[in-house]
Amino acid sequence: MLRLVEALGSWGLRTVRGLGRMGIFFFLMVRGAFHAPKKYHPVLKQIHFIGTKSFFVIAFTAAFTGMVLALQGYYTLSKFGSEGLLGSAVALSLIRELGPVLTALMVTGRAGSAMCAEIGIMRIEEQIDALECMAIDPHAYLVTPRVMAALIALPLLTAFCNVVGIFGGYLIGVELLGVSAGAYMDGIYTSVAWNDVYMGIVKSICFAVLIIWICTYKGFYTGVDEGNFGPEEVSRATTQAVVFASISILMSDYILTSILM
């Protein structure tokens, strides 16, 4: 019984300490934007890494999601004789919900995990200590450029995901299932309002911050609590980063939707 209480207490302390450290990490990440290293702005490099290199994976995901949405949507709408609304259904589902979420999940899997592993390796190989010893703020140097890049790349990737998804839906709905092209496009034009696009943008911005915050935090503190700086800690941190970031994206998606509805 005493052991259970001790374990619970220890878990509680660890959790509170971890949350506090995450809060401080967030503050330092934001502060880094105000004293970023002179002349050394790797933001473009990170936009290339997070954005450009994610194009294909996003395109694939978006195209097939749009196609499935069209198939499922056509099946459901045809029961009510409303196939003409297929364009609206696909576009609204993507712009308001699936576009931001799928893009964020894909970026987490592709770029977030890589970031966590890279920073984790820097931690275990004393490279972060080396930065500190060179009087370089590791948060400003490693984390801030990534969050700035993600804030630019993620909304653009989301928009790209939406367009490709709508096109995928068009291919199936119009070319395969015979929905009128005019009805499909007109449905999008008449049903999608600024508020829907706004919701997608807000979500993608929030997800960008969440992905970078969680993935870089996990990498930054790789092995610190365990006092073990072995390679297995990097793999553990990377797994945790992807899992926590994905869960946070899905949870915050619900919260944001309920606020922005």
Partner 1 sequence: MSASPVITIRNLNSHYQGHQVLHDVSFQVPRNQITVIMGMSGCGKTTLLRHLVALKKTGLNQIEVDGKDMGKYQEKELSAYRRRIGVLFQSGALFNSLSVAENIAVPLKVHTALPGEIIRIMALIKLNMVGLVDVADYLPSQLSGGMRKRAGLARSLAMDPEILFVDEPSAGLDPITAAALDQLILELKETLGMTIIVVTHELRSAFDIADQMVVMDKGRILQAGSPDTIRESGNERVQQFLRREADQGSLKTEEYVAQLMA
Q: Which of 38, 79, 80, 254 binds partner 1 (CB under 8 A)?
A: 38
132 touching partner 1, by CB under 8 A: yes
User: 116: closest CA among 28, 246, 4, 253?
Assistant: 246
**Residues 6+ positions from 32 with CB-CB distance below 8 Å:** 137, 139, 140, 141, 143, 144
Q: Which of 3, 34, 80, 227 binds partner 1 (CB under 8 A)?
A: 227
Q: What is the C-alpha to C-alpha distance for residues 255 and 243, in angstroms, rounded to an integer?
A: 18
CB nearer to partner 1: give 37 or 84: 37
6 touching partner 1, by CB under 8 A: no
Residue 7-36 contact track with partner 1, rule CB under 8 A, x = bound: ------------------------------
CB nearer to partner 1: give 45 or 251: 45
129 touching partner 1, by CB under 8 A: yes
177 touching partner 1, by CB under 8 A: no
CB nearer to partner 1: give 131 or 201: 131
121 touching partner 1, by CB under 8 A: yes
Q: What is the 3-state secondary structure (H, E, C) of the chain?
A: CHHHHHHHHHHHHHHHHHHHHHHHHHHHHHHCCCCCCCCCCCHHHHHHHHCHHHHHHHHHHHHHHHHHHHHHHHHHHHHCCCHHHHHHHHHHHHHHHHHHHHHHHHHHHHHHHHHHHHHHHHHHCCHHHHHHHCCCCHHHHHHHHHHHHHHHHHHHHHHHHHHHHHHHHHHHHHHHCCCCHHHHHHHHHHHCCHHHHHHHHHHHHHHHHHHHHHHHHHHHCCCCCCCCCCHHHHHHHHHHHHHHHHHHHHHHHHHHHHHHC
CB nearer to partner 1: give 40 or 198: 40
CB nearer to partner 1: give 182 or 231: 231
40 touching partner 1, by CB under 8 A: yes
Nearest distance from C-beta of residue 20 to partner 1, angstroms: 16
Q: Which of 1, 4, 135, 259 binds partner 1 (CB under 8 A)?
A: 135
Q: What is the C-alpha to C-alpha distance for residues 216 and 204, in angstroms, rounded to an integer?
A: 18
233 touching partner 1, by CB under 8 A: no
127 touching partner 1, by CB under 8 A: yes
CB nearer to partner 1: give 4 or 133: 133
Q: Which of 39, 79, 194, 254 binds partner 1 (CB under 8 A)?
A: 39
CB nearer to partner 1: give 125 or 175: 125
Kindly list the residues in this chain that would bind partner 1 in the complex (CB under 8 A).
Answer: 37-40, 118, 121-122, 125-127, 129-130, 132-136, 141, 227
